[in-house]
Amino acid sequence: MSPELLEMLRRVDTPTVCNAIEVAQGRRGFANFTRRTMLSSAPEAGALVGHARTATIAALAPSAEDPAVLRERRMAYYRHMAEAPAPSLAVIEDLDGDDAVGAFWGEINANVHKGFGLSGVVTNGVMRDLGDLPDGFPVIAGRIGPSHGFVRVESIGQPVEIFGMKVRDGDLVHADRHGALAIPAEVVPALADAISRLLATERLVLDPARRTGFDFEAFAAAWAAFEAART
């Protein structure tokens, strides 16, 4: 990922990237995105873009594992995050799913991960401490709750699934208040051009629609130009 592509991805929203991937692939049907409404701790923030650092957690019930094992795994988790290449973001699957109650993401963990250099987090789990989360580190989560429950790390660096989005450690992820997607590696070289072509094509409709006097005839002409540019 070139610095130019990274900057472009940070400027556009996740729906735009979702459409641009289809432009790069030359067909509809891209499907590796989140399928549920997600909540952003900073909905007006720009997009999160980076390589995934994955892990799974659980919190609903106490673990039967030895506490020393849990502590060792947690420190291994933090090392994994601290060694992430820039740009990276945490992608964390809460194995409790719809029963998730334990907020792994609050004031302390958000500040620690920001200090490690990560850009933010995408999780199907719980966030809290909304007034105290650090600026510049959006948390995009499945829900909000007050408790940490019995939260602990279950695995590190394994493939995860966030509301239907499947992510491997190192995958390129784009996320914002709309949700998240994993960018297929094979489209990365063509993605900047695809985004530029998509935005230019959309302007064929948007520019006329924003002009005074726009009517059905103007729409029909704009839509014909739009469809011709898409094919």
pLDDT band at 185 (very low <50, low <70, confident <90, very high): very high
- Full-model pTM: 0.94
Closest CA to 170 of 153, 180, 185: 185
207 is in an annotated binding site: no
How do residues 197-209 score in pLDDT, each as one tens digit? 999 999 999 999 9
Span 58-74, average pLDDT = 97
- Residue 11, annotated ligand binder? no
| pLDDT number for residue 229 | 87
Domains in the chain: ranges and CATH? 31-183 (3.50.30.40), 189-230 (no CATH)
pLDDT at 230: 78
In the 8-state DSSP scheme, what is residue 33?
B
Residue 231's pLDDT band, with cuts at 50, 70 and 90, is low
Instruction: Pick the closest to residue 164 from 143, 183, 180, 176 (CA basis).
Output: 180
Task: Convert the pLDDT of each residue in 75-102 to its tens digit.
Answer: 999 999 999 999 999 999 999 999 999 9
Average the pLDDT over 120-148 and give the result. Answer: 97
pLDDT at residue 125 above 90? yes
